[in-house]
């Protein structure tokens, strides 16, 4: 089996918690229990830097989830794949040394997985606070559904999950 890793990127600041909250929503959805043991795992990453590369190590397929700032309507979900991530993630990330920089380093070091997808959700508030804004939190159910749709063809599972 090919290991698939879902990594929620975040920090404790407002909507930047989105990646962490998405991982919790995936865990709570029952989705992971429908796959063979050890095939799909979820993890969180606190502000990517080089730690993101260690979390991706050994995975053939990685799905990253992060808050973004692009000027879109808060709660908008974007999907970027492979080279699209390099071109756009630096502009979208809410982190200083962010996803794009980590992935560029990983590409140089030959540490990237064969397949890489980034789901970005437009953030509204990145100031210190305890919860996501309603706009960003409202995107979580659709985000979980889109990740489910992403996983099903990879493992050839029927759409009964």
The CATH number covering residue 59 comes to 3.40.50.1450
| Domain-located, residue 17 | yes
Cβ-based neighbour number of residue 134 at 10 Å: 10
- Tell how far CA 39 is from the center of its chain: 17
| Domain-located, residue 113 | yes
Q: What is the pLDDT of residues 140-161, one digit of tens each?
A: 999 999 999 988 876 665 554 4
If one counts the domains in the chain, the total is 1
| Domain-located, residue 48 | yes
| Domain-located, residue 116 | yes
| Domain-located, residue 160 | no
Q: What is the rounded CA–CA span in Å between residue 92 and residue 9?
A: 13
Expressed as residue numbers, the domain containing 133 is 4-155
Q: What is the pLDDT of residues 10-69, one digit of tens each?
A: 888 888 899 999 999 999 998 888 888 889 999 999 866 668 888 999 999 999 999 888
Whether the model clears a pTM of 0.85, i.e. scores above it, the answer is: yes
State the residue for tokens 């959700």: 121
| Domain-located, residue 90 | yes
Q: What is the pLDDT of residues 49-63, one digit of tens each?
A: 668 888 999 999 999
| Domain-located, residue 133 | yes
């Amino acid at each position: 089996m090919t290991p698939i890793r879902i990594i929620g990127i975040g920090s404790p600041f407002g909507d930047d918690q989105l990646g962490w909250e998405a991982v919790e929503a995936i865990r709570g959805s029952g989705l992971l229990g429908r796959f063979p043991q050890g095939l799909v795992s979820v993890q969180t990453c606190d502000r990517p830097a080089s730690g993101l590369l260690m979390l991706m190590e050994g995975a053939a397929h990685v799905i990253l989830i992060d808050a973004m700032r692009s000027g879109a309507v808060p709660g908008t979900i974007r999907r970027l794949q492979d080279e699209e991530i390099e071109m756009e993630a630096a502009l979208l990330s809410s982190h200083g040394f962010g996803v794009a920089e980590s992935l560029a380093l990983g590409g140089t070091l030959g540490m990237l997985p064969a397949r890489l997808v980034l789901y970005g959700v437009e953030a509204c508030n990145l100031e210190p606070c305890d919860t996501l804004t309603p706009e960003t939190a409202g995107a979580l159910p659709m985000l979980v559904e889109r990740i489910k749709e992403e996983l099903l063809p990879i493992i050839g599972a029927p759409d009964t999950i």
